[in-house]
């Protein structure tokens, strides 16, 4: 049997699996570990989606702008440009407003992943934890729980992103944050599909993995 694999579908389904497992984890640490795996797979699926669509739907003279791994565009730029790569010459695409939902929220998903793979200086990676007693369990500090006595040191915008509430600290990621991330990604896929007149998801094209049987002689069955 021969199958044409859809990396988007594969990675998204894997993300869903780890997403579910994170809810069933036996400890906060295990839930966070599984949540991080799921989050990275959701982002990888988002990138695979547009690169795959560029090859399958894009105009031959332009598809390389998004599909050439030797000169990859940042994911946010690839998502923005895909409708223009696919559209026929002279046919305008729907306007793109980066300040209109879900795009600011989607940008935060991409920024979080970028902050993990491009960590930057130590001063930008400070995380804060708190406990009701010194010898108790320490939990990641959430913006609404920052005591007035330490607000001069702990800035709320250093703890999480303003629109999605996703924590900047990878150890603070929890299943509830994945619910937000998946919702934003799904909304972004729907919005991109609208910008492309339905071509992105038509007949579940982006999830399709066509198969055929091949006989021992090498001919299609």
pLDDT of residue 210: 82
Q: Is the CB of residue 50 less than 8 Å from the CB of residue 82?
A: yes
pLDDT of residue 139: 81
| Per-residue pLDDT reduced to its tens digit, 62-72 | 888 888 888 88
pLDDT of residue 211: 86
Report the largest interatomic distance among the alpha carbons of the chain, rounded to a whole angstrom: 76
CA–CA–CA angle 34, 154, 120 (5° rounding): 60
Positions in the chain whose pLDDT score sits under 70:
89-92, 136, 148-149, 218-221
* Domain ranges across the chain: 2-119+174-212
| Per-residue pLDDT reduced to its tens digit, 112-146 | 999 999 999 998 888 888 777 777 677 887 877 77
pLDDT of residue 8: 95
Q: Looking at the whole model, is its pTM more than 0.85?
A: yes
pLDDT of residue 129: 81
pLDDT of residue 95: 81
pLDDT of residue 91: 67
pLDDT of residue 36: 97
**Angstrom distance (rounded) from CA 212 to CA 62:** 30
The Cβ of residue 163 has, within 10 Å, a number of other Cβ atoms equal to: 15
Q: Is the CB of residue 90 less than 8 Å from the CB of residue 20?
A: no
pLDDT of residue 218: 61
Instruction: Locate 172 and state its tokens.
Output: 């603070």
């Amino acid at each position: 049997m021969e199958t044409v694999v859809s990396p988007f579908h594969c990675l998204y389904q894997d993300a869903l699996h780890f997403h579910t497992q994170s809810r069933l984890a036996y400890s906060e640490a295990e839930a966070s570990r599984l949540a991080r795996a799921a989050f990275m797979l959701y982002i990888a699926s988002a990138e695979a989606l547009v690169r795959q669509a560029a090859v399958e739907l894009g105009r031959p003279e332009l598809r390389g702008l998004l599909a050439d791994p030797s000169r990859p565009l940042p994911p946010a730029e690839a998502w923005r440009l895909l409708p223009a790569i696919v559209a026929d010459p002279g046919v305008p695409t729907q306007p793109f407003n980066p300040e209109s939902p879900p795009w600011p929220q989607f940008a935060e998903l991409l920024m979080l992943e970028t902050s993990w793979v491009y960590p930057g200086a130590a001063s930008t990676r400070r995380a804060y934890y708190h406990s009701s007693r010194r010898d108790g369990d320490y939990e990641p500090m959430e913006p609404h729980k920052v005591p007035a006595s330490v607000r001069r040191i702990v800035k709320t915008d250093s703890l999480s992103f303003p629109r999605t509430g996703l924590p900047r600290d990878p150890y603070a990621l929890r299943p509830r944050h994945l619910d937000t991330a998946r919702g934003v990604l799904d909304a972004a896929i729907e919005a991109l599909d609208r910008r492309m007149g339905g071509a992105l998801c038509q007949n579940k094209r982006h999830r399709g993995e066509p198969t055929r049987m091949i006989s021992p002689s090498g001919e299609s069955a």
